[in-house]
Chain A
């Protein structure tokens, strides 16, 4: 919690415009926005936590649970979309049973949708850590996840 206090010293209390930058800083620091963090930020800015949560969920970038032991990034860029990323994203939802930004209940997986990752010619692209998976198809997802379970359990 002391780290959040450090972050807050950089901002003016009560200024609602600082909300998004503060949330970004806290997320970089903690990896996600914890309930305590949201409450503290609310008190600092004089804003209801409901409003903060409402605004934060408008942006894909914020998450409210710590990331899974394996975190996947699925490209949501235009070219990947044209190459068929929508069914891939749907398969990800289906296989993991959670929405982007959420973490599976066993703590193994989380995934997010990102902007173009620079691999357009090879799309759709899914990235795990430093590894890029290219030309991913929806039917590849269940197997990919099964394999990654091993990795998750090693962590």
Chain B
């Protein structure tokens, strides 16, 4: 039902049951918000969004109060502006004020608010919060003094990630965001997914930076400097650097990376293609051997840690295959160091993920103390590196990547969206059964966007049933289905809702719709690609027929497998 309310002496249409904020936004009136997050129930905690409602003594929080027919609202009266400004001034009163040196300088919501509300002098002076920087995690850094206690990270971690690793600790002035027993993050149940980083309005949470380390290595002449990047990276990078993405941008990126000083540029997507092929093998083998248990994909390192700590009983079902990043990493170090010392090869991997920073440090990812991947950068960090090296990306000729991993299929790109890896494996199974493509209508169901999805596809005379957990919120449903006796051949779990397109190392999407938009781009790109799976990738053929045979370490492909074990952390 629609009705009219009065806003700033003009009438606007409002919908019964919607919040004041939503009615205002739809009518082109913007109100600053801080604690509110789209798709989460509003708490009304920060009061940044207050408006004046005639007849109400107190100002009303627009993000949580519902519109009512009699309402006369003033959104920018002097009283309202003063209240909002005071909130910002209070937040700034104990803030460290080192904006120029902050990770989020020029990209900070607090900075923006203080500018919008024209805070130009310090009227309120509070005692500065004691700086405390938690660098214990290889993936996420917490800078507690920059926290403005909006609570967004806490809600995301609890309601979306379901790890519940952080909460408000203490009360009053001592309140801060912390883990159980106020431990450092690395000793908590945090799975390094970085979803909290995506929503933090300030520099209180960010990925651990390795740009300086990369710079140092780049200046060394006695190491072979190698970089590999995930299929999604060029698309995400174009967005971050403000250029329009075209397929050729992948090849531009190769040239850019060489300009920065990398000698070899490889595609992690070749690793994804190998993973797809090996997973299809595993699923087929399980069927042939009459195994009852599903193949559970372990390509998401945040999910793997989640499983190790919360559901160790699931571990025996997990596929031992490594993630694409680590498969490519193992190939690079092995293939290149047949002639050189492994320690003289320095490999960087660029991903949309923060948990990969943690993964690269797992013990089975190193050989004799040398990691297969030395440094993991997020898309955001790579953008900084490119800017730092002063490279004009609009003015560079495209170049191919290096052999033996110069090509990826579009199935590898598909794997960057939740459910995509499952689709890719199904596609491979279809091709093996003599087809070209898996059943379109079944695949459509797998793209629904629900946190839990399932489906079955018939390829030739075999039927495969699959399940996809899109964001860990969907995991409970999977357990329920398994308890009820559902059986699957293949299960995919992605910790980040939407998949890697919404990974902790990406540029924050801001809404579910924006995440969907990224997936739609991938589906489209997949439609247009000529090489749509490992079966017709020349790179994959060359790797299996040549590289793996030539290189003794790779011949039996044991390097593509890892192991998992129960993890003791405070849950």
Contact = CB atoms under 8 A, between A and B. Distances in A.
Contact of A54 (B167, B174, B189): B167
Given A35-B570, A39-B570, A42-B571, A49 B171 contact: no
A49 B169 contact: no
Interface of B: 158, 164-171, 174, 178-182, 188-189, 570-571
B180 A99 contact: no
Contacts of B174: 99
A35 B170 CA distance: 17
Contact of A51 (B167, B182, B188): B167
Contacts of B571: 39, 42, 48-49
Contacts of A59: 171
Given A48-B571, A99-B174, A38 B181 contact: yes
A60 B165 CA distance: 22
A51 B171 CA distance: 14
Nearest to B167: A54
Interface of A: 35, 38-39, 42, 48-54, 57-60, 64, 99
24 contacts: A39-B570, A48-B165, A48-B180, A48-B189, A48-B571, A49-B180, A49-B181, A50-B164, A50-B180, A50-B188, A50-B570, A51-B167, A52-B180, A53-B167, A53-B178, A53-B180, A54-B167, A54-B178, A57-B171, A58-B170, A58-B171, A59-B171, A64-B181, A99-B174
Nearest to A47: B164
Contacts of B170: 57-58
Contacts of A39: 570-571
Q: Which 4 A-B pairs have the closest CB atoms?
A: A54-B167, A48-B164, A49-B180, A50-B180
Contacts of A58: 168, 170-171
Contacts of A53: 167, 169, 178-182
Contacts of B570: 35, 38-39, 49-50
Contacts of B168: 54, 58
From B164, B178, B180, name the one whose CB has the most chain A CB atoms within 10 angstroms: B180
B153 to A, nearest CB: 12
A102 B174 CA distance: 14
A138 B263 CA distance: 66
Nearest to A55: B167
Contacts of B169: 53-54, 57
Given A38-B181, A42-B571, A64-B181, A50 B171 contact: no
A58 B167 CA distance: 11
A50 B182 contact: no
From B165, B166, B174, B571, name the one whose CB has the most chain A CB atoms within 10 angstroms: B571
A35 B164 contact: no
A42 B571 CA distance: 8
B160 to A, nearest CB: 14
B190 to A, nearest CB: 10
A53 to B, nearest CB: 5
From B170, B171, B181, B571, name the one whose CB has the most chain A CB atoms within 10 angstroms: B181
Contacts of A49: 180-181, 570-571
A155 to B, nearest CB: 26
Given A39-B570, A53-B167, 16 more contacts: A48-B164, A48-B571, A49-B180, A49-B570, A50-B165, A50-B166, A50-B179, A50-B570, A53-B180, A53-B181, A53-B182, A54-B167, A54-B178, A57-B170, A58-B168, A60-B171
A145 B301 CA distance: 51
A90 B195 CA distance: 38
A59 B170 CA distance: 8
A50 B167 CA distance: 6
Contacts of A38: 180-181, 570
A101 to B, nearest CB: 10
Nearest to A100: B174
A78 to B, nearest CB: 16
From A50, A51, A64, name the one whose CB has the most chain B CB atoms within 10 angstroms: A50
A53 B164 CA distance: 12
Contacts of B171: 57-60
B569 to A, nearest CB: 9
A119 B270 CA distance: 76
Contacts of B166: 50
